[in-house]
Amino acid sequence: MFKLYSKLKLVVFLISLILVLLVFKSEIKAQNVNGSVADGTITVSPAISYVKANDEFKLIIENTTNSPFLYQITVSSFNLNVEERSVQRKANIEDFSKLFEIEDQNLNGVIDSGQQKIIPVKYTGVPSDLIPALIISQVSDKSNNVGISAEFASLVVDTTLVGEDRGLIKDDLSINPSSTLLGINFSNDYKIESEFKNETNKLVKISGEITVKDEDSYLANYAMSQYLLEPLFPGDSKNFKYNFSDNRNFLERFGNTTFTQTYIVNGESYIIEYTVFSVPTELAAIVFGVSVITIVWISYRARKRDKLEQLTGKKTEEVLQGSQIESN
């Protein structure tokens, strides 16, 4: 009996052991799992922020992978590589309190699969030759063999222009009517050219527009924004060309036409104006035609008068001659 009871206990124990092993699976290391076809990624934005002191923005980290994303936020400085038109990491900045205000609780965290984290950030730095960046690092243990980790850099470009920088951003607006004479425009076609040159050692972001107006009404508007998606690197220049045709009637075209370039460089506004005095060819032709007609008419009248005078003179002579003969 006792033997049977012992065997029974052994059997129960073995069955329990098997059940435990079946129900509680051992953990499998991630790299040994064949993943799904779904393409999960980590998205960090903004990739670049153009700010001034005390500007606030939101750092957004989105996790569409199948696993939680453990992150930590640090700050590094970057050099501008003008030749490669990129940036290069220079050094970590241990104490970044003079550059950014970020709540401590947001400096480390976990973003679950399918979730997004929005972290408020305030930039409190001053202009410098170096570009600071928020580094979002995937937390990873240096484990067996070769561990692989990812980092994202969210660049923060300070757009403050100091006094001497302003003078180093060259701008030029030229308006070239298609036909002029003695400085007066006789055409209704204009070539508008605008050029910017960055002679600072900083990235310069320019936006703006060129408007054409005639006293009260706007005639045309040319937005530069689609051509200025990239900032100007030090030494860069950008040239814009537009064609403007004034299709109003000749009376409306007579007078001043003003071309105004309004642009913003790193958040500061500038205006250049260029005024062209126009005499439409039709009006010039009318004036010319009227002048010609008037001159011709005056000449005709003068000649007629002369003839009349000549005729009158002859008659008078004849009358006088006739009188003389009579008196003789």
* Site for another protein, residues 204 to 223, rule: CB under 8 A: 217, 221, 223
Based on the shown chain and the rule CB under 8 A, indicate whether residue 122 belongs to the binding site for another protein.
Answer: no
The region that residue 182 occupies, defined by phi over 0 for left and psi between -120 and 50 for alpha, beta otherwise, is left
Q: What is the DSSP letter of 314?
A: H
Minimal distance, residue 81 CB to another protein, in Å:
9
The residue range among 139-147, 258-266, 267-275, 315-323 that interacts with another protein, by the rule CB under 8 A, is 139-147
Q: Are 213 and 219 in contact (CB under 8 A)?
A: yes
Q: 101 CB contacts (<8 Å, ≥6 apart)? A: 121, 122, 124
How many residues of this chain interact with another protein, rule: CB under 8 A?
77
Minimal distance, residue 168 CB to another protein, in Å:
18
Q: Which is nearer to another protein, 6 or 237 (CB)?
A: 237
Residue from 17, 18, 35, 191 touching another protein (CB under 8 A): that is: 35
Q: What is the DSSP letter of 225?
A: G
Phi (first) and psi of residue 10, to 5 degrees: -65, -45
**Token pair 């170096």 is at which residue?**
130
Q: Which is nearer to another protein, 217 or 269 (CB)?
A: 217
Residue from 53, 70, 184, 319 touching another protein (CB under 8 A): that is: 70
Minimal distance, residue 237 CB to another protein, in Å:
16
Based on the shown chain and the rule CB under 8 A, indicate whether residue 92 belongs to the binding site for another protein.
Answer: no
- Chain centroid, CA 111 distance in Å: 33
Q: What is the DSSP letter of 227?
A: G
Q: List binders of another protein among 163-182 (CB under 8 A).
A: none
Residue from 143, 269, 324, 327 touching another protein (CB under 8 A): that is: 143
CA-nearest of 218, 201, 106, 211 to 162 is 201
Based on the shown chain and the rule CB under 8 A, indicate whether residue 258 belongs to the binding site for another protein.
Answer: no
Based on the shown chain and the rule CB under 8 A, indicate whether residue 34 belongs to the binding site for another protein.
Answer: yes
The residue range among 10-18, 35-43, 103-111, 259-267 that interacts with another protein, by the rule CB under 8 A, is 35-43
- Distance, CA of 303 to CA of 43 (rounded, Å): 92
Task: Give the length of the chain.
Answer: 328
Residue from 133, 210, 265, 276 touching another protein (CB under 8 A): that is: 133
Q: Which is nearer to another protein, 97 or 243 (CB)?
A: 243
Phi (first) and psi of residue 122, to 5 degrees: -120, 130
Minimal distance, residue 89 CB to another protein, in Å:
5
Q: What is the DSSP letter of 144?
A: S
Based on the shown chain and the rule CB under 8 A, indicate whether residue 12 belongs to the binding site for another protein.
Answer: no
Q: Which tokens in the block code for residue 237?
A: 């220049």
Minimal distance, residue 123 CB to another protein, in Å:
16
Q: Which tokens in the block code for residue 13?
A: 């124990």
Based on the shown chain and the rule CB under 8 A, indicate whether residue 33 belongs to the binding site for another protein.
Answer: yes
Q: What is the 3-state secondary structure (H, E, C) of 70-81?
A: EEEEEEEEEEEE
Q: Which tokens in the block code for residue 103?
A: 């709540």
CA-nearest of 190, 194, 310, 236 to 85 is 236
The residue range among 65-73, 177-185, 234-242, 270-278 that interacts with another protein, by the rule CB under 8 A, is 65-73
Q: Which is nearer to another protein, 180 or 221 (CB)?
A: 221
CA-nearest of 44, 134, 142, 56 to 92 is 134
Residue from 41, 105, 269, 328 touching another protein (CB under 8 A): that is: 41
Q: List binders of another protein among 266-305 (CB under 8 A).
A: 282, 285-286, 289-290, 293, 297, 301
The residue range among 95-103, 154-162, 177-185, 313-321 that interacts with another protein, by the rule CB under 8 A, is 154-162
Q: Are 282 and 303 in contact (CB under 8 A)?
A: no
